[in-house]
Amino acid sequence: MNVDQQILSNSIRSYLIILGIILGTLIIKRLISRFFASLIYTWIDKKNHSELRKIHVHRLVVPIEWFLIFLVAIIALYELQFPAAWNVHLFKLTLQQGIESVVKLIFIILFIRVCLRTLEFIAIILEEKSKLTKDQSDDQLVLFFRDFFKVILYIIGVLLILHYVFNENIGNLVTSLSIVGAAIALSMRESLENIIASFIIFFDKPFSIGDLVKVNSFTGTIEKIGLRSTRIRTQEKTYISVPNKQMVDNIVDNISMRSERKIDMDLQLNVNTTADAIANLTQFLRIHISQQQGVASSVVFLADSGKLAHIIHAEIFVDMNLELFQFQMLRENINLAAIQFANTAQIKFAETV
């Protein structure tokens, strides 16, 4: 066989060389793709756990393989001469231009796919590492930036397709998009403010996933911090969404960050109650409260004396490690003890205040 024989404007030798390059790539594609995937994994996780490595590296291998094969095929086929017999026009385009546009489209799609899979690959590794820490905010931070950079990659992919496949001027397009974007920004000002507020929450960390907070008269546990809103599971077990801007602008009481819980009590006694009886009741409450488990400090005193009632005020600070049920039982115990002492000492409570 004459390897110099011309077929479709190219010699058989050229076809054989191109075929050999593509076959060689098919043979070593798995090794190259695994090398790049392992390199990224080692860069992200220097501990290099073998089991995690096997699970996650496989997720990135297939997209790299397809991209590598297509890239080598394009480079190899680029050395061939386009057959003169195929130089026909389809509408305003030649067949060669049409094929080149399709090739560019496939190349960009495969490239963006590799970038997306790499992003997911890195996010999974970082997510597993973040699970090893007690702070749950870094878990949400990984998911937040994963979704954010996904949107960026999709936008880049669309711009590349418009420029290289449809030959659009990106500069003019970006200028047009900026004008449209400004108009959209004005109409979506509130949503943009919430997105900016989400960044403030992630970096300033006034609260984290799992924290018990009080905001806008609602008390509940933070379950998710999104781009636009924060989801809270209230103590009534309802599920509410609070715009991030409100979470930043309003006063948020992070109950989980308190060093102690506080119990406020007001005992309103009948105005006919003697001073000795009031003194005995306050002294009893001081002793009784100090003996209760979980009480860090307390103060009991006669706060007010007037025409309608004598008011004994108690402030009790309780350790935050005490569970909510035990906290409520402690409050009940102190109230019952005060009522029992008052009944025994024949102290009457005020009827109206």
First-to-final CA distance of the chain: 114
- pLDDT digit string (tens) for 285-317? 999 999 998 898 999 999 988 778 999 999 999
What's the rounded Cα separation, in Å, for the pair 135 and 208? 8
What's the rounded Cα separation, in Å, for the pair 232 and 254? 13
Look at residue 23 in the predicted model and tell me its pLDDT. Answer: 80
- pLDDT digit string (tens) for 104-146? 898 899 899 888 888 888 887 777 777 776 666 666 677 777 8
Contact in structure between 247 and 230 (CB atoms under 8 Å): yes
Is residue 353 pLDDT above 50, yes or no?
no
- pLDDT digit string (tens) for 197-221? 888 888 888 888 888 899 988 899 9
Which of 125-134, 235-244, 315-324 reaches the highest mean pLDDT? 235-244
- pLDDT digit string (tens) for 22-69? 788 778 877 777 777 777 767 766 555 555 556 666 677 878 888 888
Is residue 1 pLDDT above 70, yes or no?
no
Residue 114, Cβ density class (10 Å: 0-12 exposed, 13-18 middle, ≥19 buried): buried
Average pLDDT in the 76-104 region? Answer: 74
Which of 12-26, 52-66, 251-265 reaches the highest mean pLDDT? 251-265
The stretches of 78-136 forming alpha helices (DSSP H) are 95-130
Strands 229-234 and 253-254: unpaired
Domain edges within the chain:
6-187, 200-256, 259-344
Look at residue 240 in the predicted model and tell me its pLDDT. Answer: 92
Kindly indicate the confidence band of residue 97, based on its pLDDT and cuts at 50, 70 and 90.
confident
In whole angstroms, how far apart are CA 263 and each of 166, 229, 326? 70, 32, 13
Of the candidate CATH numbers 1.10.600.10, 3.40.50.300, 2.30.30.60, 2.40.37.10, the domain formed by 200-256 belongs to 2.30.30.60
Provide the residue type at 119 as one letter.
L
Contact in structure between 317 and 295 (CB atoms under 8 Å): yes
Look at residue 285 in the predicted model and tell me its pLDDT. Answer: 94
pTM over 0.95: no
Domain 259-344 sits in CATH 3.40.50.2300: no
